[in-house]
Amino acid sequence: MESLASFFPNLALGFQTAVSLQNLTYCFIGVFVGTVVGVLPGIGPLAAIAMLLPATFNLPPVGALIMLAGIYYGTQYGGSTTSILVKLPGESASVVTCIDGYEMAKRGRAGPALAIAAIGSFFAGTVGTILIAVAGPPLAEMALKFGAPEYFSLMTMGLIASAVLAHGSMVKAIAMIFLGLVFGIVGTDVNSGMSRFTFGASGLADGLSFVVVAMGLFGFAEILANLERQKEASTRDLLAKKIEHLYPTLKDLKVSAGAIMRGTAIGAFFGTLPGAGPTISAFSSYALEKKMAKHPEEFGTGAIQGVAGPESANNAAAQCAFIPTLTLGIPGSGTMALMLGALTIQGIAPGPQVMTQRPELFWGLIASMWIGNALLVVLNLPLIGLWVKLLQVPYRFLFPAIMVFMSIGVYSVNNLDLDIYMTVFFGFLGYVFIKLKCEPAPLILAFVLGPLMEENLRRALLISRGDPTVFFTRPISAGFLIATILLLIVMIMPNVRKKREQVLVEEGTG
Amino acid sequence: MHKLTRIAVAALTAAAVAAPVGAANAQVYPNKPIRLIVAFPPGGSTDIIARLVGQKLGERVGQQVIVDNRGGAGGTIGTELAAKANADGYTLTMGTTSTHVIAPAAYVKVKYDPIKDFVPITLVASTPYLLVLHPGVKANSLKEFVGLVKSQPGKLNFASAGTGSTTQLAMEMLKIAAGIDIVHVPYSGNGPAGTAVMGGQVQALFGSMPAVLPHVKAGRIRPIAVGTAKRSSALPNVPTVSESGYPGFEVSLWLGFFAPKGTPDPVLRKLYDELTGIARSPEMKEQFERNGADAVTTTQVELSRLMKTELDKYGKVIKSAGIQLK
């Protein structure tokens, strides 16, 4: 491995570039702006970077990229903060954080949840940075091996795993998955160009936006449910007052350490795949932690591993998303496409040449990724006290503010007013789900994965001229399908056993 | 905090001083920010060129130019919005082959007329289309490629950025011109389509220059022909389709500025002068080249004529390929 030998001199060059006062300042500005913007619900990295891109036109290339990368991490991190505090996921990857993070906050443990998210993200970011430096190009080659059949099988595995997210009734979880698939169908069919379920609204031609569905089902619905409870001596305010620890206890750290490491590994693996990397990693990690936990029943009621694992996973994935972008010039997401645009404006053609032609830029960016992650921890750990205090603001002030920011955030994605009305619709739907005790997480994941699954299924069959064996004859695809079957068996077995036990108990008593 | 207060006071004072001046010049265009509607989400080549030109335009006229991304439905949402905007020069749009030619021809329900609802100002850039192959495909020229496809009709695949996208239509034109049968596999955007060719999932792509050029330079895909009338300055060794045996073949994506019909003439003249000045500046030419685009300027009449020819040309291809977007 030639890259390993040159690793340290390269990294030294990177730090030399990044640790100039000027670049550190850009990095700090980026991380700070990112955090501030990210905390506003609904405004994700894409909107933030798009708004700030012109401001970087006149900066030196290294500085511009460092600042944009800082914004990217900052918003990602800010998104977790809102997920934990007010159940508002800014991105699909944060949906999983809502489940146990928000439960922890309700139990007065918002501090430890935020801290573990920061620590997990930092660890994952560090590993991700090293990985990019050491194994970027070969990992990118792996990503190229993923064709339509591979993506389809991966998505199938993800969809099956999403059933694990629910901690209540399995039947309800499956029903929610199907509902999510239906919502995912809305929009223009990639193959034929026909509109499906758009009811003539051109705003629906590209499908329902993720932010709309997530903000509605999580944030908006939660506000409705909370308002209903206001009269009953406001459980929420009471809960917020009995905060014991601001930071995680030693026990918390011990329990989370394994979750952080496993989450990082999962995120690093899926992150290099262009597409749904962070989302799939976040909930694969959740599913894994739930299976590994001694007390899986704690999941969904505020298990700290349920925050530590997915947060590490999505940050590792976010970091590794730079691998295909930088080494191949393939953007994995809209945000990465913007970063790529910023690179070209600065006169840099992304691809393998970047590393040889502009080493100071490539390695400077990598070093600044790590510095950015470190700055985030430094910036966010002291802020935790402030965020937790925010929860103590009387709800009658807090909820209108959340509503306003949420509306701005939803609008900012597509600049479409229809999106705000749709959020209201999903808000009421989410309220009904709360009443029916149906959990929205599996719905959202099916909503995200369903369209990708369909697209790749049809593409795979189009390329194979209708021969379904491609899914089994291609080794990577076959591997995912075998894993899916194993996953199904693991999931069904305990239920069958439990049912049998139940039957036996009933027979015994009867 | 003190610093902030001082800045706030300074800003207020500046605003107070500036206000009467602005009022006195109310007749002078522009006296408030200009909205530039881009009918595509941020990050694409149209968006980037709009942002580059928009920023320069803002500097030249002394007002901010705000890029308003109204993506969706193949660019028809944003363009429709621009068609209905006030015709006062404060709403402009970046029109392209997609929004002003292909969408009106391919979509069944487009609520704007590219000719009747807009006045063209000028083109600023055009991006060539480049026919690229996966390196494993045994063809080094367009002639060999056509021969290869003819030897196994319906067996090979080509990627596109979506059904009804310019990348599909460019290949459909070649299919008609060369009489070849190759299967269309739509992807969701230029990025995934390029990746599919690099990974060998599909064999060919008529890709837009900015999307494929970096991969060509990295040697991951093989360019065999460029769709423009003249060879591209970015790849001078790659022949045109036209010189490879299909004279008259020409596809490119052009980008230009349009205003809603009824925008006053003095405003249009001012914008024409500024925009052509920007597109001709060496700095912008260089920026465009980095993004795989060439700087182009046209008069109003030339642009109107171009749109009419293109509507006719693409209309025929769309019909013969049976594309109908609903």
User: Residue A340: closest CA among chain B residues belongs to which residue?
Assistant: B43
The answer on pLDDT for A325 being more than 80 is no
Q: Please, are residues B222 and B153 in contact by the beta-carbon 8 Å criterion?
A: no
**Cβ contacts (< 8 Å) between B210 and chain A: which residues?**
344
User: Cβ separation of A463 and B185 shorter than 8 Å?
Assistant: yes
Q: Pick from B35, B39, B113, B115: which is nearest to B67 by CA?
A: B35
pLDDT at position B242, please? 92
Decide if B32-127+253-321 and B128-244 have a common fold.
yes
Average pLDDT, chain B: 85
Tokens (6 digits) for A183: 């919502």
A:B CB pairs within 8 Å: 134
Judge residue A340's burial from the number of C-beta atoms within 10 Å of its C-beta, 0-12 exposed, 13-18 middle, 19 or more buried: buried
pLDDT at position A128, please? 86
Q: Pick from A53, A65, A52: which is nearest to A14 by CA?
A: A65
Q: Please, are residues B77 and A202 in contact by the beta-carbon 8 Å criterion?
A: yes
Q: DSSP per residue over A134-167, as a string?
A: HHHHHHHHHHHT--HHHHHHHHHHHHHHHGGG--
User: Cβ separation of B215 and A351 shorter than 8 Å?
Assistant: yes
Q: Please, are residues A69 and A433 in contact by the beta-carbon 8 Å criterion?
A: no
Cα–Cα dist A393/B281, whole Å: 55
What angle do the packed helices A61-86 and A334-345 form, to 10 degrees? Answer: 160
What is the mean predicted confidence (pLDDT) over A264-293? 79
Residues 58-117 of A with CB under 8 A from B: none
Of the two residues B198 and A55, the one the predictor is more confident about is: B198
Q: Look at residue A410 and tell me if it is in a domain.
A: yes
| CA atoms B266, B267, B268, B274: torsion sign | positive
Please give, rounded to a whole number of angstroms, the shortest distance from the CA of A89 to a CA of chain B: 21
Q: What is the pLDDT of residues B228-258, one digit of tens each?
A: 988 888 888 999 999 999 998 989 899 999 9
Tokens (6 digits) for B118: 């807009």
Q: Please, are residues A281 and A120 in contact by the beta-carbon 8 Å criterion?
A: no
Tell me if residue B226 falls in helix, strand or coil.
Answer: strand
Cα–Cα dist B304/B122, whole Å: 10
Phi, psi of A233 (to 5 degrees): 55, 25
**Cβ contacts (< 8 Å) between A347 and chain B: which residues?**
290
Please give, rounded to a whole number of angstroms, the shortest distance from the CA of B301 to a CA of chain A: 31
Cα–Cα dist A100/A98, whole Å: 6
Domain B128-244 has CATH 3.40.190.10: yes
Q: What percent of chain B has pLDDT over 90?
A: 44
**Cβ contacts (< 8 Å) between A59 and chain B: which residues?**
none
Cα–Cα dist A376/A33, whole Å: 11
pLDDT at position B138, please? 92
Tokens (6 digits) for A154: 């991966």
The answer on pLDDT for A164 being more than 70 is no
Query: Among A49-58, A115-124, B316-325, where is mean pLDDT lowest?
Result: A49-58
The answer on pLDDT for A129 being more than 80 is yes
What is the mean predicted confidence (pLDDT) over A278-300? 81
User: Cβ separation of A205 and B72 shorter than 8 Å?
Assistant: yes
Residue A448 CB contacts under 8 Å (≥ 6 apart), including other chains: A92, A184, A210, A276, A279
Supply the ipTM of this predicted assembly. Answer: 0.74
Please give, rounded to a whole number of angstroms, the shortest distance from the CA of B53 to a CA of chain A: 11
Chain mean position to CA A235 = 29
The answer on pLDDT for A239 being more than 60 is no
Judge residue B61's burial from the number of C-beta atoms within 10 Å of its C-beta, 0-12 exposed, 13-18 middle, 19 or more buried: middle
Q: Where are the domains of chain B?
A: 32-127+253-321, 128-244
Q: Look at residue A176 and tell me if it is in a domain.
A: no
Q: Pick from A400, A463, A443: which is nearest to B183 by CA?
A: A463
CB atoms closer than 10 angstroms to residue A489: 9
Q: Look at residue A167 and tell me if it is in a domain.
A: no
Phi, psi of A231 (to 5 degrees): -70, -30
Instruction: Work out the pLDDT band at B17, boundaries 50, 70, 90.
Output: very low
Q: Look at residue A303 and tell me if it is in a domain.
A: no
pLDDT at position B26, please? 46
The answer on pLDDT for B16 being more than 80 is no
Tokens (6 digits) for B310: 């293109």
Q: Please, are residues A187 and A208 in contact by the beta-carbon 8 Å criterion?
A: yes
Q: Please, are residues B50 and B105 in contact by the beta-carbon 8 Å criterion?
A: no
Give, for B118, the enclosing helix (H) or strand (E).
strand B118-133
- For domain B32-127+253-321, which architecture applies? 3-Layer(aba) Sandwich (3.40)
Q: Please, are residues A67 and A27 in contact by the beta-carbon 8 Å criterion?
A: yes
The answer on pLDDT for B119 being more than 70 is yes
Q: Pick from A506, A488, A136, A504: which is nearest to A324 by CA?
A: A136
Give me the number of domains chain A comprises: 1
The answer on pLDDT for B84 being more than 60 is yes
Instruction: Work out the pLDDT band at A75, boundaries 50, 70, 90.
Output: confident
pLDDT at position B23, please? 40
Tokens (6 digits) for A55: 């401001």
End-to-end CA distance of chain A: 68
Residue B309 CB contacts under 8 Å (≥ 6 apart), including other chains: none
The answer on pLDDT for A412 being more than 50 is yes
Residues 134-163 of B with CB under 8 A from A: 157, 162-163
CA distances from A214 to A398, A424, A445 (A): 19, 11, 10
Q: Look at residue A491 and tell me if it is in a domain.
A: no
Q: Pick from A156, A120, A158, A180: which is nearest to A280 by CA?
A: A158
Cα–Cα dist A493/A488, whole Å: 8
Q: Look at residue A389 and tell me if it is in a domain.
A: yes
Instruction: Work out the pLDDT band at A275, boundaries 50, 70, 90.
Output: low
* Contact status of B196 with chain A (Cβ, < 8 Å): yes
Q: Which domain holds residue A432?
A: 2-143+211-293+317-439
